[in-house]
A and B are shown apart, each in its own frame.
Chain A
Amino acid sequence: MSEVENPKKERVLVAMSGGVDSSVAAALLVEQGYDVVGITMQVWDYTKNECEITEGHGTCCSSTDVDDARAVADRLDIPFYVMNCEAKFQQAVIDDFVNTYMQGKTPIPCVNCNTYLKFDHLIRKMKELDCDWLATGHYAKVVESKTGRLAIQTSTDDWKDQTYFLFTLNPEVIPKLLFPVGGMKKAEVRKIAEEKNLIVARKKDSTGICFIGKSGYSNFIEQQVGRENLLPGKLRLYPGGDVMAEHTGIHNFTYGQRKGLGVSYSEPLYVLKIDPETNDVWLGEEKYLYSQSARLHTMNWLDDVEDGETLRVKIRFAHQGAEARVKKTPEGVDLEFLEPQRAITPGQAAVMYRSQQLVGGGWIL
Chain B
Amino acid sequence: MSFQPFETVQKGQQIYLDNNATTPVAALLVPHLENWVAEWGNASSIHQSGRGPKTLIREARNHLADLLGCHPLEIVFTAGGSEANNLAIKGVYEQLAVSGELENKSRFICSQVEHPSVMKTMDYLKDKGVDVVTVPVSREGVLDLEFLEDALKQAPTALVSVMIANNETGSVFPIEKVIELSHKYGALVHSDMVQALGKIPFSLKNLNVDFASFSSHKFYSLKGCGILFSRKGNQLVSLIHGGAQERSRRAGTENTLAIAAFGEMARQKDRIPFEQQRIRELRDGLEKKMKESISGVEVTGAGVERLPGSMSVLIPGVDGETLLMNLDMKGFSVSTGAACSSGSPEPSPVLLAMGLSRDEAQSSLRLGLGWSTRAEDVDRFLQQLIVTVERLRSFNDEASEVSKESV
Contact = CB atoms under 8 A, between A and B. Distances in A.
A56 B123 CA distance: 12
A84 B325 contact: no
Interface stretch (B29-37, B83-91, B338-346, B368-376): B338-346
Interface in B315-352: 319, 321-322, 325-326, 328-329, 340-346
Given A125-B322, A129-B329, A130-B326, A83 B391 contact: no
Nearest to A81: B325
Interface in B113-148: 120
Nearest to B321: A83
B326 A60 contact: no
Contacts of B342: 42, 60-62, 66, 82
A37 B341 contact: no
A324 to B, nearest CB: 33
B343 A82 contact: yes
Given A61-B342, A82-B344, 19 more contacts: A37-B329, A60-B340, A60-B341, A62-B341, A62-B343, A66-B343, A66-B344, A81-B325, A81-B343, A82-B343, A84-B344, A84-B345, A128-B319, A128-B326, A128-B395, A129-B322, A129-B329, A130-B326, A130-B391
In which size bucket is the chain A interface? 20 to 34
A61 B343 contact: no
Contacts of B343: 62, 66, 70, 81-82
A125 B342 CA distance: 20
A66 B341 CA distance: 12
Most chain A CB inside 10 Å of its own CB: which residue of B340, B342, B344, B391: B344
B239 interface: no
A128 B392 contact: yes
A83 B344 contact: yes
Interface string B256-289: 0000000000000000000000000000000000
| Interface SS, B side | helix
Contacts of B325: 79, 81, 129
A59 B322 contact: no
A196 interface: no
A202 interface: no
Contacts of A83: 321, 344
A124 interface: yes
Contacts of B346: 59-60, 84
Contacts of B328: 79, 81
Contacts of A42: 342, 344
Contacts of B326: 128-130
A162 B325 CA distance: 30
Contacts of A82: 342-344
Contacts of A79: 325, 328-329
A127 interface: yes
Contacts of A124: 395
B392 to A, nearest CB: 6
B322 to A, nearest CB: 5
A275 B237 CA distance: 64
Nearest to B338: A60
Nearest to B398: A127
A129 B395 CA distance: 11
* Max chain A C-beta neighbours (<10 A), residue from B325, B326, B346: B325
A358 to B, nearest CB: 26
A128 B344 contact: no
A147 to B, nearest CB: 26
Contacts of B322: 125, 128-129
A37 B329 CA distance: 9
Interface in B359-407: 391-392, 395
Contacts of A59: 346
B300 to A, nearest CB: 21
Contacts of A57: 120
A83 B325 CA distance: 10
Contacts of A56: 120
Nearest to A84: B344
Contacts of B395: 124, 127-128
B126 to A, nearest CB: 12
Nearest to A40: B344
Nearest to A39: B325
Interface centre among A37, A56, A83, A124 (most CB of B within 10 A): A83
A122 B8 CA distance: 37
A62 B346 CA distance: 13
Nearest to A85: B344
B121 to A, nearest CB: 12
B336 to A, nearest CB: 11
Interface string A50-74: 0000001101111000100010000
In the A-B complex, the 10 residue pairs with the smallest Cβ-Cβ separation, listed nearest first, are A62-B342, A82-B344, A84-B344, A42-B344, A82-B343, A128-B322, A60-B340, A81-B325, A60-B341, A60-B342
A56 B116 CA distance: 13
A127 B319 CA distance: 13
Contacts of A128: 319, 322, 326, 392, 395
Nearest to B116: A60
